[in-house]
Structure 1
Amino acid sequence: MLRQLSDLPCLPRSSSIIVAALAQCTRLLSTTTSSSSSSSSSSPGLFGIKRLQSPGDFPRWAEDAKSRCGELVGQVLAAPPDASVVRLVDDISDEMCQVYDSAECCRNVHAEPAWQKAASQACQLLGDFLAEINHHRGLYDKLKQAQAAHSASAAAAASSNPADAQLSIGAQLLSRAQLAKFCPETLVVASKYCQDFEKYGIHLTSSSQRAEVARLLALNQHYPARFNAALADHRQLGSTAVPGRLLPAEWRRAAGATGRVSVPLDGGSVHHVLVHAEDEAARKQVYLAGAAAPAANLALLDDMLACRHQLAQLLGYPSYAAFKAADSTLAGTPEAAGSFLEDLAGGCRLQAQQELAALSRLKQQHTGAAGAVLQPWDQDFYTRQLALSLPQHADAAAAAAPYLVLGSVLGGLSELLQRLMGLQLKRRQLGPGEGWGAGLLKYEVVCSRLGLLGTLYLDLVARPGKVPSSGMLYPVKCGRELPGGGYQQPVLCLVGNLASSNSSSSSDLSGLPLSWREFKTLLHEMGHATHSMVSRTKYQHVWGTRCSQDIVEVPSHLWEHFATDSRSLALLARHADTRQPLPPQLARQLAGLSSATPALELQQQALLSLVDLVYHGPQLPSEAGGTSSVWSSLASKQGSFLPPPGTCPQARFSHLTIYGASYYSYLYARCLSEALWETHLAADPLDATAGHNIRQLLLEPGGALEPLDLLTAALGGLACREHVLHQRHKGWCPNPQSLLRSVEKGLVVQS
C-alpha cells in the first residue's frame, strides 16, 4: 500500500509503501552502526551518502540544502520563461527531497537515538523552509509564464514561415531552439508543479483566503496525526475483562485471581480473539468493546472532514473528493469512482450471500442450534473454520514451509526479473557506517542493457525504536536525468518486521519460512520496487511511483499474479533442499486458506471505499445524521452487516486519514492489473517480449504520462482500452468483470 507524504511542490510526492510482510535474500549481515565508527573517512556514509558520517551531519545537510535552494530560487526568477524554469524548479525539489527523504527514513529505522533525533531535526528545519517555498509567488508566476510562452510560441510556430530562425511576435515568444526543449514530459511536469502550488492557494487573490488555506492545511496534518495516535494509544483504546475460560489457551495464562483476563483493544489483540475464540460470548464482548473505541476519534473525524470540506471549497471545488479526483487521476471525478464501486459491490453480492450462507451453516453446526444467526463478531472465526475445513487445507501451511523460505524465494524472484526484463539483484556488502542496525542487506539492481540502475537496502528485523508499521518502502534518493548528463541512480530502503532481533542473532535468515500471505506481499512490494528502479524520467517529480494515486498500485497488484501461475511459481517457490517447485495443488490449498471468502472481502473493501467517498462528498456527514448514520445507510445497501448499536467502525478506519477520498484506488488497481495480466502475461508469465512491454509501457514512464495515456499504451491501444475502461461522469473507471471472474473462481493457480 502506498502512502503519499505530500507537503509541498518541492517535496510533492515523497512516498512510503505500507506493507504487511516482506522478504529478502540469502544471507543477512549483522551490522550495527555507532556514531564513532561511522565517522571514519573511508566510510561510504549512511545509506551510501558520503556526507552522512555522524548524526550532526543531518542538520548541517539541511542547512546547506536551504542555502542551495535559495540560490536556485534566484536562478528561477532570473531565467527566461522557457523549459529551464521547469528544470530549475525540479532541481529545488530534488535538493530538498534528498535530505528530507533520507532523514524521514533514518528517524524511523535507525537503531541509535542520536541519529533519530538529528534526522528529526533536519525534517523540522526543512519543513519550516518548505512552508516558504510553497507560498513563493515568484516561483509560481515564473512557471505560469513559461507555460504561456510555450503555448503562444507553439501557436506562432505553427503559422510562421519554417525558415524563420526566430519567432518575433511579442517579448514572451521563444526561439525555435527554446521551443524544442519543451518535450511532452516537461509540459506535464510544469502543469503538475503549478497544480501543487495551487493546492496551497497561491493563485487566490485575497490574502485572507490564502491565510485561511494555510491554516486549514496545517489542521489537515494535525487531525490525521491525532486520529492515528489514538489507534496506538492503549489508554484511549482501553481494555475489556473477559473470563479466561472463554478465551484461547494462550490468553488464559494471563488470568488473575478473579479468573478474568484484561484484553487490550488494539487491533491485533481484537483480531486474534475474533479469529481464535471458540466462545461466542467472548467474541461478542471483545468486538463490541473494540468497535466503540477510541471514542475521541469521532469528534476528530468530524473536525477533519469539515476542515477538508472547507479547504476544497476555498480552492474552488464542491467537495474534498472532487479536489482529490482533479489531481491527475484516472477517475477524474468522484462520481466515476462511485459508479465503479457500486457496480463492483452489486456484481459480487450474490457470491457474498452464498459465502455468508456457508458461514451461517458452519455456525449452526458448531453451536448445534439450527436457528443460530451469524453476527458481525462471528465472521472472522467462521471464515477461518471454513478455510480449515476445506480438504487437506489444515496441513497445507506446514507442507509448504520448505518451498517458501526467504533465500529461495528471493533467488527465484531475481531469476524471474532477469527472464522478463533483464534485471538482476546482486548482493553487495555494506561498508562501515553505511548501515543503521542489525540484520541489513544491500542489493544492486543491474540491467543487462543499462548497467547499474540503483541500490536497494532491506531491513526486515524488528528492534526497539524502529517504526512499528509492518513495513514501508522509503525512497532515499529519487531517479532523474542529471542536468550535466547521465542518470541519478535511485536508492530505496525496504523496511519490515519479518523477523525479531532475537531470531536474527545468527545473522542468517535465508532459511526463514514465509506464510502464503507474506509470500504474496513480497511480490506486491517488489512490484513497487521494480516500478521505481526501472522508471526513466527526465524529472524526479514524476519518477517511478510518483504518479496518480489510482494508478500507483497497478504494478504491485500485477506482480501478485505471479503467485497464481504454476510456471512462475516454479521459479519463485522451490524446495530449499530438492529445488522442486511447489506443487500446484498445494498452492491452491494455500490460496484457499488465505482467502476462503473472497467475495465478502471484496464487498467489504467496496463498502469502505464508498464510505470514504461519501464522507468527503459535497454534503458533510454532520449534515446527514452523522458519520455513524452514513455508514449504516451505505452498509444496508452494499454490505452484509449493519454496525451493531453503540459501535463506530469509522473511529478505527485509519485509511480515511491517509487516503482521504482515494481509497477506491486499490480496487481500480486490482481490476486494471487483471486486464494487464490477461493482455501480456497470461499466455506465458516468463515471456521476455511481454516483460519488455510491461517495462517500457507501464513502468518506465512513471508519472510522466497522464493515467489514461499510460493505460491506453499498456493495454495495446484504443481498441483494447475500450474493453477495459469505461467513460462515466466525465471520468474513467475500469470494467469490473475481470476482477469479478477472478473472485468467482477464487485465487486458482493455473497449471
Structure 2
Amino acid sequence: MTNPLTETWDTPFGLPPFDRIEDAHFGPAIDAALEQARAEVGRIAESAEAPTFDNTIRALTQAGEELDRVLGVFFGIAGAESTEAREALMRELSPRLADHASDIHGNRALFGRIEALWQERDALGLGPEEARVLYLTRRSFVRAGAELEGPSAERLKAVKARLAELGTAFTQNLLADERGWRMELDEAELKGLPEFVVSAARAAGEAAGAEGPVVTLSRSLVVPFLQFCPDRDLRRRAWEAWVSRGAMGGETDNRGIAAEILALRAERADLLGYDSFAEFKLETEMAGRPEAVRDLLMRVWEPARARALEDEVRLTAMLHADGQTGPLEPWDWRYYSERRRRQEHDLDEAELKPYLQLDRMIEAAFSVAHRLFGLEFAPLDAALHHPDARAWEVTRDGRHMGVFVGDYFARGSKRSGAWCTVFRGQRKLGGEVRPHVVNVCNFSKPAAGTPALLSWDEARTLFHEFGHALHQMLSEVTWPQIAGTSVARDFVELPSQLYEHWLEVPEVVAEFATHAETGAPMPEDLRDRLLAVGTYDTGFETVEYIASALVDMEFHGPEAPADPMQRQAEVLQEIGMPRAIAMRHATPHFAHVFAGDGYAAGYYSYMWSEVMDADAFAAFEEAGGPFDAETARRLEVHVLSAGGSDEAAALYTRFRGSMPGVEALLKGRGLLDAA
C-alpha cells in the first residue's frame, strides 16, 4: 500500500497531503520511523570515533527527523479532529514513545559521549547557539535519569511509560464526557436568550442530530448560556454538567487517574533526587522554586479575593431582588454579573457581539502583525485536516516566513479549549525550514450563510493564540530544540498574553469592529464603554484562576495526595475561596495539569508571564504608542525570533532593560486599590 506519510510531499510549501492521508497510514509510518530513529541513535552511541559536537550533538538532533515529521502530523490533528482509530493509536503510542525516549536517555554509551563533550566544552570553540544546545541536551539527559542505574533506572522508565498512558486516558475521558452530554431546549426555554445564543444552540442541535436546539459543554456555548439564561434551574443543570466533566462516574471518570498520576510524579521526582515534583519541574523555569510561585500567587490572591467578595455582595442583592432566596451560587455569578455590567456600564454583549465578526478579528490580528513586524498573509489553497480549517502563506518583503492554519470552530471531534501547535517547526540545521503553525479554537459555528460572531473574551483568545503563532513564525534559530516556543514554561505565555493588548487599541477596534449586517464601524460611544470596562469582574476571573494554580502547586508538593478531591477541597478552604466561585479547572477536567506534564506544577505560568506582558506593553506606551517601530524591533530580536537561545530572564532583560515587579500586573487587572 502506498503510504503518503512516508513519501516526499509535493504540496504547497511541503504541507502534509491531508487529502491522501488516511487513519490506516499512521501506524505503519510511525512504526517505520521509530525503527529508523532507533537505528540512527544506535549508530551515534556505538561509534568508534571520539565524540565531537557534530558526530554526537548534531547527529542526535538530526536522528529521528522522519519520526518528528510523521508525529508532527499525527499529534497536530489528534486533538483537533479525533477519530476512534486515532484515539486507539494514541493509547498504543503513548507508552511506546515514552519507552523510546527512555531508551535514548538511558543509553549509557550515548550519555558518555555527551558528558565527555560537556567536560571539554570550553575547548570546543562553540558559538552561542551550539553552547546552549550542548547545555540543554546534557540537562535533558540528566533530568530524564541518565545518571541512574539498575533498578532505579528501570523503575523510572516504567513510571514514565505509565504516565504517558494515563495522560492519554485522561484526555480521551474528558473528550468523551464533553461530547456525550447535551441539554435539549424547547422553544419556551429559549425565552430571554439573545439571538446569538439561540442561533448557536440551534446550530449545535443540528450538528448533534437533535430535533431542536441544545446546550453542549463547549465553552463557547455553555458560558454565554450561563450569562444570559434567566431560568435558574436550567443554569444549574448546565453548570453542574460543565464542572462535572471527568467526574461523571463509569469508565470515563478521571479521579482515580489523577491520583495515580500525582503519585507517579512524586515517585519520579524522588528517583531523581528532588524533594517534590514541583521542585523538579521549577528547576528549569524562571520562577526557580515553589516558594517564589506561591509568593506571587498570594500577593495577587488577597486583593483579588477582596474585590470578588465585594462583588458577591452586590450580585447577591440582585439575586434577592429577583425574589430568589439563599446565597449566590456559582451558576448565578455570570448571569448577575452580566446584568450588573449592563446596568453599571451600559454594555450589553448582545449589542457588542455583531461587531466582533470572526473574519474581521482574523484580519485585525493579521493587520497588527503587519504593522509591527511587516508580515503579510495571503490565502492558500491547500488540502487541510478538516473542511473548516483555513490556511495562509506568511511572507515578509517577499520572503516566505511560514504557513499559518486557523481551525476555529467547535465540533464533537475536537477537544475543548484553544491552543497553538505546529505540523513542523522552524530550523536552519541542514537547510532552511520554515514553520507550519496551527491555531485551534472552539468558537460556535454559525448557521449556514451567516457570519461567525465572537464574544470579547473569544476575540481575546484569538489574539492570544495568534501571539503564540508569531513566536513560531518569527523564529530565526539554527537548532530545532530551541526554536519558537521552546522556552521556559513561565515565559512561553509572554508573547501570547502581550499580543492580547493590541485588541484593545482604539484604532484597531475602530477599523475592524464592524457590524455584521450593516458594515458600520462600532460607534465611538460603544467602543469607549467597551474599553473602559476592561477590568470589570477581574476579581472573579483572578480568583478562579489563582485557585486552580494554587491547587496545582499543592498537588505537586513533597507528598502526593491519596485523595486529590479531598486535598482540592482543603486547599480551597485554607485560602478562603468564595463559595460562589469555582476553580477555573477542577481536578477531573484539569487537562493542563493531567493530560501531560507540560503545565504540571506550572499552571501559575500564565500569571508569571502576565507580570512581564503588562510591563512589555508599557514599553510601547512609553515609546510613544502601540506601534512604535523600534520597540517592535527589539521585541522581535530579543524575544520572538530568539526562541530558547538563552535563559528567559536574559532575553527579557535585553528587550526591556530589567525584570518587572508585580505592580504592573495589579494595575492592569484594576486591583491596585484592593491590595
For normalisation by structure 2, the TM-score amounts to 0.82
Give, in angstroms, the shift of residue 451 of structure 1: 1.2
Contact between 2:555 and 2:564, CA under 8 Å: does it hold in 1? no
Instruction: Name the CA distance, whole Å, in 1 between partners of 2:234 and 2:29.
Output: 54
Q: Name the residue aligned to 1:639.
A: 577
Q: Secondary structure at the match of 1:340?
A: helix
Q: Cα–Cα, structure 1 residues 376 and 662, in superposed 2: closer, same or farther, change >3 Å?
A: same
Q: Name the residue aligned to 1:316.
A: 273
Higher helix share: 2
Give, in angstroms, the shift of residue 699 of structure 1: 0.7
Q: Aligned pair 1:493/2:438, yes or no?
A: yes
Give, in angstroms, the shift of residue 710 of structure 1: 1.4
1:92 maps to amino acid = A
Deviations 1:684-733 (A, max 9, x none): 111211211111111111111111111211222xxx32xx1xxxxxxxxx
2:619 maps to amino acid = T
Instruction: Name the CA distance, whole Å, in 1 between partners of 2:168 and 2:7.
Output: 38
Instruction: Name the CA distance, whole Å, in 1 between partners of 2:446 and 2:421.
Output: 21
Q: Cα–Cα, structure 1 residues 242 and 715, in superposed 2: closer, same or farther, change >3 Å?
A: same
Contact between 2:5 and 2:26, CA under 8 Å: does it hold in 1? no
RMSD of aligned Cα (Å): 4.3
Q: Aligned pair 1:304/2:261, yes or no?
A: yes
Q: Secondary structure at the match of 1:393?
A: coil
1:538 maps to amino acid = T
Contact between 1:471 and 1:494, CA under 8 Å: does it hold in 2? yes
Instruction: Name the CA distance, whole Å, in 2 between partners of 1:229 and 1:437.
Output: 20
Q: Aligned pair 1:139/2:77, yes or no?
A: no
Instruction: Name the CA distance, whole Å, in 2 between partners of 1:317 and 1:418.
Output: 46
Contact between 1:351 and 1:599, CA under 8 Å: does it hold in 2? yes
Q: Aligned pair 1:456/2:408, yes or no?
A: no
How many residue pairs were aligned?
A: 640
Give, in angstroms, the shift of residue 70 of structure 1: 2.0
Q: Name the residue aligned to 1:567.
A: 507
Q: Aligned pair 1:445/2:394, yes or no?
A: yes
2:427 to 444, 469, 480: 480
Q: Name the residue aligned to 1:341.
A: 297
Q: Name the residue aligned to 2:641.
A: 700
Instruction: Name the CA distance, whole Å, in 1 between partners of 2:322 and 2:265.
Output: 47
Q: Secondary structure at the match of 1:446?
A: strand
Instruction: Name the CA distance, whole Å, in 2 between partners of 1:46 and 1:330.
Output: 36
Q: Cα–Cα, structure 1 residues 51 and 110, in superposed 2: closer, same or farther, change >3 Å?
A: closer
- What does 1:112-261 correspond to in 2, within 5 Å? 129-151=100-122, 153=123, 179-180=124-125, 182-205=126-149, 207-234=150-177
Q: Name the residue aligned to 1:737.
A: 663
Q: Secondary structure at the match of 1:691?
A: helix
Q: Cα–Cα, structure 1 residues 383 and 636, in superposed 2: closer, same or farther, change >3 Å?
A: farther
Q: Name the residue aligned to 2:209.
A: none
For normalisation by structure 1, the TM-score amounts to 0.74
Contact between 2:544 and 2:581, CA under 8 Å: does it hold in 1? no
Q: Name the residue aligned to 1:651.
A: 588
Deviations 1:270-307 (A, max 9, x none): 76775445455665576567766435433332222111
1:610 to 550, 554, 575: 550
Instruction: Name the CA distance, whole Å, in 1 between partners of 2:79 and 2:306.
Output: 44
Give, in angstroms, the shift of residue 576 of structure 1: 7.2
Q: Name the residue aligned to 1:81.
A: 51
Q: Name the residue aligned to 1:728.
A: none
- What does 1:532-571 correspond to in 2, within 5 Å? 532-571=472-511
2:552 maps to amino acid = D
Q: Aligned pair 1:325/2:251, yes or no?
A: no
Deviations 1:536-569 (A, max 9, x none): 1121011101111111011000000002221343
Q: Name the residue aligned to 1:382.
A: 336
Query: Quick check: which has more Rg, 1 or 2?
Result: 1
Give, in angstroms, the shift of residue 522 of structure 1: 1.4
Q: Cα–Cα, structure 1 residues 278 and 661, in superposed 2: closer, same or farther, change >3 Å?
A: same
Q: Cα–Cα, structure 1 residues 340 and 391, in superposed 2: closer, same or farther, change >3 Å?
A: closer
Contact between 2:239 and 2:331, CA under 8 Å: does it hold in 1? yes
Instruction: Name the CA distance, whole Å, in 1 between partners of 2:447 and 2:235.
Output: 32
Contact between 1:454 and 1:533, CA under 8 Å: does it hold in 2? yes
Instruction: Name the CA distance, whole Å, in 1 between partners of 2:515 and 2:241.
Output: 44
Q: Name the residue aligned to 1:170.
A: none
Contact between 1:247 and 1:273, CA under 8 Å: does it hold in 2? no
Instruction: Name the CA distance, whole Å, in 2 between partners of 1:70 and 1:38.
Output: 20
Q: Cα–Cα, structure 1 residues 715 and 73, in superposed 2: closer, same or farther, change >3 Å?
A: farther
Contact between 2:4 and 2:17, CA under 8 Å: does it hold in 1? no
Q: Cα–Cα, structure 1 residues 235 and 563, in superposed 2: closer, same or farther, change >3 Å?
A: closer
Instruction: Name the CA distance, whole Å, in 2 between partners of 1:341 and 1:546.
Output: 25
**Structure 1: stretches of 5+ with no match in the other structure:** 1-34, 154-178, 255-260, 725-734, 747-751
Give, in angstroms, the shift of residue 663 of structure 1: 0.5
Q: Aligned pair 1:677/2:617, yes or no?
A: yes
Q: Aligned pair 1:421/2:373, yes or no?
A: yes
Give, in angstroms, the shift of residue 90 of structure 1: 1.4
Contact between 1:237 and 1:290, CA under 8 Å: does it hold in 2? no
2:11 to 26, 44, 54: 44
Contact between 2:227 and 2:335, CA under 8 Å: does it hold in 1? yes
Give, in angstroms, the shift of residue 351 of structure 1: 2.2
1:81 maps to amino acid = P
Q: Name the residue aligned to 1:71.
A: 40
The farther-off stretch of 678-687 and 263-272 is: 263-272
1:549 maps to amino acid = R
Q: Aligned pair 1:586/2:512, yes or no?
A: no
Instruction: Name the CA distance, whole Å, in 2 between partners of 1:106 and 1:654.
Output: 17
Instruction: Name the CA distance, whole Å, in 1 between partners of 2:319 and 2:231.
Output: 11
Give, in angstroms, the shift of residue 113 of structure 1: 8.4
Q: Secondary structure at the match of 2:440?
A: strand
Q: Name the residue aligned to 2:566.
A: 628
Q: Cα–Cα, structure 1 residues 410 and 319, in superposed 2: closer, same or farther, change >3 Å?
A: same
Question: Whose RCO is larger (CA < 8 A, sep 6+)?
Answer: 1
Q: Cα–Cα, structure 1 residues 277 and 467, in superposed 2: closer, same or farther, change >3 Å?
A: closer
Deviations 1:93-134 (A, max 9, x none): 544322211122244556998999999998898666445334
Instruction: Name the CA distance, whole Å, in 1 between partners of 2:459 and 2:321.
Output: 33
Kindly, what percent of the aligned residue pairs are identical?
22
Instruction: Name the CA distance, whole Å, in 2 between partners of 1:329 and 1:243.
Output: 51
Contact between 2:94 and 2:164, CA under 8 Å: does it hold in 1? no
